[in-house]
Amino acid sequence: MKKRFVVWFLFFCLIPFGFLLSFQSYLISLIVISIGLWGFFLGSIDYLQTRRAILRNYPLTARLRFIFESIRPEIRQYFVESDKEKVPFSREQRNLVYQRAKNLSGIKPFGSLEKMDAIGHEWLNHSIMPSHIESHDFRVLVGKKQCKKPYLSSFLNISGMSFGALSPQAIESLNLGARINNFAHTTGEGGVSSFHKKNKGDLIWQIGSGYFGCRDEFGNFDDDKFKEQAKLDQIKMIEIKLSQGAKPGHGGILPAAKVTSTIALARGVQEGIDCISPSSHSAFKNPIELINFINKLRDLSSGKPVGIKLCVGHPWEWFAIAKAIVKFKSGPDFITIDGSEGGSGAAPSEFMDHVGAPLQDGLMLVHNTLLALGIRKDITLIASGKLISGHDLARTSSIGADICNMARGFMFALGCIQAQTCHNGMCPTGITTQDPSRARAIVIEEKHKRVANFHKGTLIALKEIVEAAGVKHPDDFRPEHLVIRAEGNELGTASSIFTWLKEGDLNKKVIDHPAFSRFWKKSSYKTFNLL
């Protein structure tokens, strides 16, 4: 007999063995025969079915493979994964969040686990004369020139996660935590739900290509509906989502079965009908129309800051936007740069791994452009993409960010265990699900405190790094503060390793930067296309 059929055969053998046991005990005999029949029958189905080759060749035995595969994330997380292995966040990173969320110390004993001689290892230079700062509550003004209602933002806020992707309890916990610590909660493109409004925490209303919450019956932008929602005092900023890091240039669909009455109400769509997010906006088709759309939203919202969110793709498309800002002396009050390392509830593997610029590259390109055009001080840059610690905030600030957003960090604060089941509604902690029996695991009265604790603890850690560097605010960080180990054990600061433009550089005939030298003059404020 072939070895791969042994388990199937053993179950078959239990049947006659069970009959032999009848002379001793009818009950035990019945149990053994039943187990044998069940196993033989199941093995026969495996052998005869035509859909799965491995089951045909390994009846019953192959089922163990599928069982272990289904619990692989949990096995890996608790028994296999090392403290430093990032899949996508390491155990050490998650533990840091859990500790801060529980208001416990983030202090470590006995030394670092980092390989400090590894290529790519980085650190922030400290000062012999550290500074002293009274508060960790770093603030950044958004909407400096064009807004009647500028917003004094926290340095750290919650990145966009929609109701529908997250459970009602998760949304409420995040927003209540934001209210307690006076920071902002980005809605995600799924609209402003009742769960966002309930606890009165500051909101950044994100508007995607589906125009959820401000759309007409055909899915087009509706001025009146936007104006009605935007006048809500709780909404402090408006963010037009052009693309996101996890799946830039890709639309989305919320299947009809998941479009409940509450989700339908928040999004302004019909219950029980597929809810589609197109891959591009219908309200504008070129940079000029985008600038006009931004200005329209600012007017309709009575002067609140309006910005754009994008994962940087074709450099000439971003250059076209930048040229339009200069041409019309108007445009976004802030720009959120989302790195391709950012997460999402569900995204195609190819997009997640290989489409879009990582945060560092996208942020530096946008920062360099605005700097060389002389308009950097007028536009706030917000960075998001796999940020988790005070160091992440400091190093991101050193390469151009004014504000940082986090999504998965705050999910960990809610109790996320990185089970990676966000896409199927089977979240074991009740965060990324609409199943009431699973969502009940989140007790808002407890979890909102952890959100607030994590925010506070991370900013305290940032404050300590700022003080160690001898500066007064994260805005004071510069590329020369960040040191990176290169090949051959050579060291360099971000200021020497990367190319940085200065004001007026874009007026030069020759620009010493690969993206600008190739694409700047071939871009136009009139079109997203390459000239």
Alpha carbon distance 393, 398 (integer Å): 9
Residue with tokens 């929602």: 229
| 203 has a pLDDT exceeding 90 | yes
Alpha carbon distance 294, 177 (integer Å): 30
Residues of the chain with pLDDT > 90: what percent? 63
| 265 has a pLDDT exceeding 80 | yes
Which residue has better confidence, 80 or 494?
494
Q: Average pLDDT for residues 292-313, to the nearest whole number?
A: 98
Question: Which of the 8 DSSP states describes residue 493?
Answer: E
Dihedral of alpha carbons 209, 388, 179, 435, sign: positive
Alpha carbon distance 405, 28 (integer Å): 62
Q: What is the pLDDT of residues 119-160, one digit of tens each?
A: 889 999 999 999 999 999 999 999 988 999 999 999 999 999
- 26-35, 229-238, 414-423: the lowest-pLDDT one: 414-423
| 308 has a pLDDT exceeding 80 | yes
- Max distance between CA atoms of the chain, in angstroms, equals 99
| 210 has a pLDDT exceeding 80 | yes
Alpha carbon distance 250, 164 (integer Å): 18
Q: How are beta strands 252-254 and 275-277 bridged, if at all?
A: antiparallel
Residue with tokens 């959820």: 212
Give the confidence band of 75 by pLDDT, cuts at 50, 70, 90: low
Q: 446: number of CA atoms within 13 Å, CB side?
A: 7
- 56-60, 447-451, 524-528: the lowest-pLDDT one: 56-60
Residue 77 has what pLDDT? 61
- 22-36, 293-307, 355-369: the lowest-pLDDT one: 22-36
CATH architecture of 139-519: Alpha-Beta Barrel (3.20)
Give the confidence band of 515 by pLDDT, cuts at 50, 70, 90: very high
Residue 233 has what pLDDT? 97
Give the confidence band of 201 by pLDDT, cuts at 50, 70, 90: very high
Domain ranges of the chain: 3-70, 139-519
Highest mean pLDDT among 80-84, 253-257, 429-433: 429-433
Alpha carbon distance 407, 171 (integer Å): 12
Alpha carbon distance 251, 242 (integer Å): 11
Residue with tokens 């307690």: 180
